[in-house]
Amino acid sequence: MHAELVHAFNACINGADLDGLVEMLTEDHRFEDPAGSVVEGLEACREAWRRFFAAFPGYTNTFDRVVVRGDQVVIAGSSAHDEPALSGPALWSAQVREGRLARWSVHLDIPEERERLGL
């Protein structure tokens, strides 16, 4: 079930489906990026994703490996976009609560992060 949720969430990212994406988030959703930036709360996350989709049309993620451990999901794959900084290997992690995403984190794909995430 959790693997299906993160795949559906990624389909919304790949299709820039803001409404579909937001339906999968908890009210207190937390987004974390590799630079340490955090966005908290459903409406703040909605606005952050809206801005992201507007700024980077055509951005996509491909998942190569999805590992579920209880309510935690760890994903390895890659991102693609014309902006070089947004293209290449990537890691993500998520926390699922009551069938929704409570947290979505983007990680640098480096050996230390792979080890920390158990990949």
Note the pLDDT of residue 85.
Answer: 86
Across all residues in the chain, what is the average pLDDT?
Answer: 96
Note the pLDDT of residue 104.
Answer: 98
Q: Residue 69 in contact with residue 93, Cβ under 8 Å?
A: no
117 has a pLDDT exceeding 90? yes
The domain segmentation of the chain, as residue ranges, is: 2-117
Note the pLDDT of residue 5.
Answer: 98
CA 119 – CA 116 distance, rounded (Å): 8
Cβ contacts of residue 73 below 8 Å, gap of 6+? 2, 3, 5, 6, 66, 67, 93, 94, 95, 96
Residue pLDDT, tens place only, 78-107? 999 998 888 999 999 999 999 999 999 999
DSSP letter assigned to residue 109: -
CATH of 2-117, one of 2.40.50.100, 3.10.450.50, 3.40.50.10860, 1.10.230.10: 3.10.450.50
Note the pLDDT of residue 89.
Answer: 97
Note the pLDDT of residue 100.
Answer: 98
Predicted TM-score (pTM) of the model is 0.93
Percent of the chain with pLDDT over 90: 96
Residue pLDDT, tens place only, 8-29? 999 999 999 999 999 999 999 9
109 has a pLDDT exceeding 90? yes
SS (H, E, C) 53-74: HHHCCCCEEEEEEEEEECCEEE
Note the pLDDT of residue 1.
Answer: 86
